[in-house]
Each structure stands twice: as structure tokens, then as C-alpha cells.
Structure 1
Amino acid sequence: MTEVLQNLNDNLKKQVLLYGKILSIEERKQKALLANNLQEIEVTTGLEEQLLLEAGHLERERLSWAEQIGQALGKKPEDLTLAELAEHFPVLQEVRLELEQVVGSLKEIHELNTQLLQQAMKIVDFTLGMMTHQDKNTYTHPGRKEKDGNKAVHLLDWRV
């Protein structure tokens, strides 16, 4: 059991480091969002995708270790929490705290970045609406057709 436990601990430490890298990329992306630097947003998104693929690999590996530990404890791996494992195996306590801290920080910055992106999309929608002089969004009522007499001519007609 100690080898499996050590492998799980090592895996979790790798996840802490990886999520730390993702956190720094999210911070970099936030600066790019504030500066409206589209090229930097694209670069950071690409880097983030690569790291998320690696995180998926580590998570699959973690599940295999958790499955082995779960069998020893008589529980399914998806029912085991890290807090519960840390109670049974105090060696996991430190990595649990580190993981909670980095994931919490990542969640906060991700929520802020999501809000920034939503605000940017509202600005784009507003700008397009102004450019096309549309009274309403053509995507509000899918499938509903306008009468020929009510159609307005716009600089850009972006109806599909």
C-alpha cells in the first residue's frame, strides 16, 4: 500500500505544479484581456489547452491509484475525497492543502476572466448592432420570419 500511496502523493504534487502553471497562464491571459491583446489571448489559450491535456492525463493516473486505495478501504474511487484520504493517510495532508489553495486561486481568476470575456462580447454585440442599425437581435427568435414590408436595409446584414 505504501508504494501506491507514494505514487498517489507524487501524482498530486505534479498536479499542484501543473495547476500552478495554469494559474500563471490565466493571470497572463487576464492582463491580455484587459489590454485587449488578441494575439496574447490566442497564445495563452493555446498554452492552456496543452496543460489541460496534461492535467487530464494526470487525473486518469490519479484515478487508477485511487482505485487501488479504494479497494483496500472498501470504497469506489469516485466516492473517495482527498480530505477523506488525508484523514486515513496523513502523508497526503500537505499536498491536499496545496491543491486546495491552487485550485481555489485558479477558480477565482477563471471566474474573473469569464466576466471579462462576457463584457467584451457585450461590447462586440453592441458595436455590431450599432453598425447594422438593427432594432432587435436576429437570433432572438429563431425560425420566425419577418414580413417583406418590415425588412430594413442595413449596412451589414448578418442574418443567417
Structure 2
Amino acid sequence: MSEVLENLERNLREQVKCYTELYDLGKSKQKALIENSVQEIDKITAREEQLFPDVKRLEKERLLFTEQIGLELGQAPESLTLVVLAERFPVLQGVHSDLERVIGELQRIHDINTQLLQQSMGIVNFTLGLLMYQEKNTYTHPGRNGKDMDEKLHLLDWRI
């Protein structure tokens, strides 16, 4: 069992490293969003995408290690959360708290970045709305019949 625990702890430490790097990238992305640096956002997003296969691989390994531990303990792997494992095996308590901390930080930075993106999209939509749409006609064109008078006019109306 000790070899499986060592492998699980190593795996969790690698996950902490990946999530820490994702957090650092999230902070950089936040700065780029504030500065409206599209090139920097693209660069950061590309690096994030490079990390996702590693995170996915580590998670699959973690599930295998948990399954092995569950078989040895006679418990269903689904019931062996990291909290349960850390209580049962004190060697995992440190990595458990590290993982919990970094995932919490990552979630907070992700939430902030999501809000920044939503605000940016709102500004873009508002600006496009000003350019492309008017709620009501402010003037009429000579020669239009009454039916055309109710149509909305667009600043970039291709018929003009």
C-alpha cells in the first residue's frame, strides 16, 4: 500500500504544480484583460491549452491510484475522496491542503476573469448596438411607403 500512497502523493503534488501554473496564467490573463491586450490573451490561452492534457492525464492516474487503494481497503473508490484519504493517511494531509488552497485561488481568479470578459463583451455589444441599430426611425427617406416607415434603420444599412 505504501507504494500506491507514494504514487498518489507524487501525482497530487504534480497536480498542485499544474494548478499553480494555471493560477499564475490566470493572473497574467487578468492583467491582459484589463489592458485589453488581445495578443497576450491569445498567448496565455495557448499555454493554458498545453497544460490541459497534463491535468487530464494526472486526474486519470489519480483515479487509478484511488481505485487501487479502494481495492486494498475493501471500499468503493467513489467513497475515497481526498478528504477521507487525508484523514486515513496523514502523509496526504499536506498535499491535500495545498491542492485545496490552489484550486480555491484558481476558482477565484477564474470568476474574476469571467466577469471581466462579460464586461468587455457587454461594451462590445453596446458599441455595436450603437453603430448598427436604432430603436426608432429618426428620419424618413423620400419615396418610402408607410410600410417601410416602421422598419428599423441601421447605421450600416446596405440599401442606402
**TM-score for both structures, normalised by structure 2:** 0.86
Contact 2:134/2:153 (<8 A) preserved: no
- Using the TM superposition, give the Cα deviation of residue 4 of structure 1 relative to its aligned residue in structure 2, in angstroms: 0.7
C-alpha distance after superposition, 1:121-153 (max 9, x if no partner): 1101100100012439xxxxxxxxxx8763223
Equivalence for 1:18: 18
Superposed, which structure 2 residues align to 1:27-38 within 5 Å?
Answer: 27-38=27-38
Aligned in 2, Cα 1:89/1:152: closer, same or farther, shift over 3 Å? same
Moved over 6 A (4+): none
Residues 1-160 of structure 1: pairs in structure 2 closer than 5 A:
1-135=1-135, 150-156=150-156
Q: CA-to-partner distance for each residue in 1:79-122, whole Å, 9 max, x for gaps?
A: 22111001111100000011011111111111000000010011
Identical positions, percent:
54
The TM-score with structure 1 as length reference comes to 0.86
Which residue identity is paired with 1:62? R
RMSD of the TM alignment (CA)? Answer: 1.7
Structure 1 CA distance for aligned equivalents of residues 42 and 60 of structure 2? 27
Q: Give, as a single letter, the amino acid of the residue that structure 2 aligns with 1:83.
A: V
User: What whole-Å deviation, never above 9, does each CA across 1:40-72 have from its counterpart, x for those lacking one?
Assistant: 111111111111221011001110001101112
Change (3 A) 1:148 1:88: farther
Q: Which structure 1 residue ranges, 5 or more long, are not aligned?
A: 137-146
Structure 2 unaligned regions, length at least 5 = 137-146
CA deviation after TM superposition for structure 1 residue 156, in Å: 3.6
Letter in 1 for 2:43: V
- The structure that has the greater radius of gyration is 2
- Indicate how the Cα distance of structure 1 residues 87 and 152 shifts in structure 2: closer, same or farther if over 3 A, else same: same
